[in-house]
Amino acid sequence: MSRPLRIALTKGRLEKDTLGLLESLGYDCEMVRNKGRRLILPIPNGNMEVVLAKAADVITYVEHGVCDLGVVGKDTIMEMQGKFYELLDLGFGRCKFALAVKKGTDFYNGFSVKTIATKYPNVARAFFESKGMDIDVVKIEGSVELAPLLELSDGIVDIVETGTTLKENGLEVYEDVCKISARLIANTVSMKLRQTEIEMLTTNIERYFAEHSHN
Ligand code: PRP
């Protein structure tokens, strides 16, 4: 028998919802839930195994074909792009990309080139390019909210989920960029070689969504 169908899951925020979905479809995720420090876990009642990775690495593993499938946020997909298929919107991990500023700032006022701090330079550039607007981008690794507070930037392009982080730091959304949610992605070769197994999974997911009025 060929190796199990390998699915890379984004650790952290998306992990619980992904396992919940797999369990709703009947997959036994007990070993994944009790993983300890293990990173590759079998799903004993399906010819499938789970690889736990950081979001950007999920894309890397799927692109290289060492994982057939991946669950990753649209935010990481937009930032990294790459060669893979995006099969399904999984509906969870919902949040948005937004341009945020210090409360009361009129971002578009004035003619000076604005500086944007972000963990997502490609997304930020594409957003302002679509407006024909020239900006400087400063890449920040985390807690981007600090940049405008420290006056390093005029604004940030970042993920907003509940809005609490912005609120508690005196920032506000100035403009929405786009909606984000978790996606199922697939390696392009796996789509041919393991088409039946992958289609079985996606059909099961779609049926489950239809039965539970997913929107
Ligand atoms: C994300 C994002 C915001 C926060 C938004 O950061 O960069 O800081 O979540 O969530 P909220 O709207 O619910 O407050 P994350 O927690 O992933 O940490 P990081 O900044 O270290 O990447």
Q: How do residues 71-127 score in pLDDT, each as one tens digit?
A: 999 999 999 989 999 999 999 999 999 999 999 999 999 889 999 999 999 999 999
| pTM beyond 0.85 | yes
- What the chain holds in terms of domains, given with CATH numbers, is 5-93+181-212 (3.40.190.10), 95-179 (3.40.190.10)
> Which of these, 134, 96, 97, 143, lies nearest to 114 by C-alpha position?
134
Place of tokens 């979001």: 55
Place of tokens 């697939």: 186
Ligand 1 pocket, CB under 6 A: 142-145, 158-165
- What's the mean pLDDT when you consider all of the chain? 96
* CA distance linking residue 173 with residue 134, whole number of Å: 20
Q: How do residues 165-209 score in pLDDT, each as one tens digit?
A: 999 999 999 999 999 999 999 999 999 999 999 999 999 999 999
* CA distance linking residue 153 with residue 147, whole number of Å: 6
Contact 29, 19 (CB under 8 A): yes
Place of tokens 């997911």: 205
Residue type, 75: D
12 CA: nearest ligand 1 atom: 17
- Ligand 1 pocket test, pick from 13, 96, 160, 165 with the greatest ligand atom count within 8 Å of Cβ, gives 165
163 CA: nearest ligand 1 atom: 12
Q: What is residue 1's predicted lDDT score, i.e. its pLDDT?
A: 61
